[in-house]
Amino acid sequence: MRNSFDIVIIGGGLVGLSLARSLAGSGLALALIEPRPSAPPPTGVNWESRVYALSPGSAALLQSCGAWQRLPPERIARVERMRVFGDDPGARIEFSAYDAGLRELAFIIENNRLHHALREAVREQELRMHCPAGWSTLEFHESHAAIGLEDGTALTARLVVGADGAESRVRKHAGIAVRAADYRQLGVVANFSCEKSHDDTAFQWFMRDGVLALLPLPGRRASMVWSIAEERGRRLLALPEPALADEVEAASGGVLGALQVITSARGFPLKLQRVTHFTRPRLALVGDAAHNVHPLAGQGVNLGFRDARALSKVLGERGPQGDCGDYALLRRYERARREDVLAMQAATDGLQKLFNNDAVLLSRVRNLGLTLVDRLPWLKSFLVHHAVA
């Protein structure tokens, strides 16, 4: 059995799988290591509380990966409008796909459906899947990297890709430093059935103690992401479901009428992570292993898909005899991604700080900012076109 590969991807989450798919047909020998076995999503009407707002650019990547076509269309919601409210009455901004000349601003899709679609697509390509499997040793040499699996299998690769999420062991192993800032917030997620139609609109409220988003799901359903101070988040998680629904209904001003919980709440700790390097000789990081952002803009996995797209493009341009772990090549990937990632980290962190602040002057500035942007069509158009990439 072959144990030497061009690329070994460590981590089979959405970003690792999308990279594997983007490299199908490249002629590169690929392997992927993932500890968690994959299970098909449950049949029936269960809705997963972990959903993603995917940009049209991400949807196009998933289409080219052969994953989008595998998603059940009745589980995909299109976002045609977005209404964002500040914490002053009247401070609001509205984005519309129609005004921006787009068909939609985003798609909302459940994590388990998307993961399954990507796994099924990957099954069709030449790739050695080690799953469930873990690794115990990882050494970087001049000409290759050596990976020892927990079952004793030894693999070599010209390039290792760390796609193993925010707590990346690959990153730690390679000695890449991280600057982390704990937001001391939880991202509380849950799904609701709603009395009123959402009309394909995503709603977001920037409040003094957090950001509440209600994203449309197919039918009269909505998915909540409430980024909120840890203590209040824990209280929300402990509430009986009818009380949680009442609290969300009140916080959202009843825009969707009476709510009923259809998927129990879960909480995720939120932090910002900046890495010093995306690459080392024979190593590239992608997805949350390379950057972690506040979910208020719903951009984490979109950034990760753009990493996958950029890395596969750079690898595809390396020439017939090119070494895919060549550091100069990997630096091109890093340069291609730095600006987008830094801009998103700055924007999400800046917004989080601007609103998570009691100063009266800041309150005026942020609410005035929303109203002003709403009145500047060119700026709105610029923001929309950046967000859908």
Ligand X SMILES: Cc1cc2nc3c(=O)[nH]c(=O)nc-3n(C[C@H](O)[C@H](O)[C@H](O)COP(=O)(O)OP(=O)(O)OC[C@H]3O[C@@H](n4cnc5c(N)ncnc54)[C@H](O)[C@@H]3O)c2cc1C
Q: How far is the CB of 268 from ligand X (least distance, A)?
A: 4
Q: How far is CA 54 from CA 17, 94, 115, 258, in A?
A: 16, 19, 13, 27
Q: How far is the CB of 169 from ligand X (least distance, A)?
A: 4
Q: Which is nearer to ligand X, 10 or 174 (CB)?
A: 10
Q: Which is nearer to ligand X, 144 or 306 (CB)?
A: 306
Q: How far is it, in rounded angstroms, from Cα 83 to Cα 116? A: 31
Q: Which is nearer to ligand X, 144 or 291 (CB)?
A: 291
Q: Which is nearer to ligand X, 75 or 363 (CB)?
A: 75
Q: Which is nearer to ligand X, 134 or 254 (CB)?
A: 134
How far out from the chain centre does Cα 239 lie? 27
User: Residue 36 has which token pair?
Assistant: 């968690």
Smallest CA-to-CA distance from 82 within 361, 343, 309, 298 is with: 298
User: Residue 314 has which token pair?
Assistant: 């750079």
Q: Which is nearer to ligand X, 18 or 363 (CB)?
A: 18
User: Residue 156 has which token pair?
Assistant: 């070599």
Q: How far is it, in rounded angstroms, from Cα 295 to Cα 272? A: 10
Sign of CA dihedral 198, 81, 104, 57: negative
Q: How far is the CB of 254 from ligand X (least distance, A)?
A: 24
> How buried is 265 (Cβ within 10 angstroms: 0-12 exposed, 13-18 middle, 19+ buried)?
buried
Q: Which are the contacts of 316, defined by CB distance < 8 A and separation ≥ 6?
A: 26
Q: How far is the CB of 217 from ligand X (least distance, A)?
A: 12
Q: How far is the CB of 24 from ligand X (least distance, A)?
A: 18
Rg (CA), the chain: 21
Q: How far is the CB of 134 from ligand X (least distance, A)?
A: 6
Is residue 100 within 8 Å of residue 381, measured between CB atoms?
yes
Smallest CA-to-CA distance from 101 within 387, 385, 386, 302 is with: 385
Q: How far is the CB of 67 from ligand X (least distance, A)?
A: 13
Q: Which is nearer to ligand X, 338 or 364 (CB)?
A: 338
Q: How far is the CB of 165 from ligand X (least distance, A)?
A: 3
Q: How far is the CB of 351 from ligand X (least distance, A)?
A: 15
Smallest CA-to-CA distance from 67 within 16, 118, 20, 107 is with: 118
Q: Which is nearer to ligand X, 189 or 214 (CB)?
A: 189
Residues found near ligand X in the complex (CB under 6 A): 10-16, 33-36, 52-53, 134-135, 163-165, 169, 187, 189, 225, 268, 287-288, 295, 298-302, 304
Give residue for tokens 């609410």. 367
Q: Which is nearer to ligand X, 252 or 348 (CB)?
A: 348
Q: How far is the CB of 90 from ligand X (least distance, A)?
A: 27
Residue 75: helix, strand or coil by DSSP? helix
Q: Which is nearer to ligand X, 273 or 367 (CB)?
A: 273
Length of the chain equals 389
Establish whether the linkage from the previous residue to 132 is cis, with ω within 30° of 0: yes
Is residue 76 within 8 Å of residue 109, measured between CB atoms?
yes
Q: CB atoms < 10 A from the CB of 320, how many?
A: 5
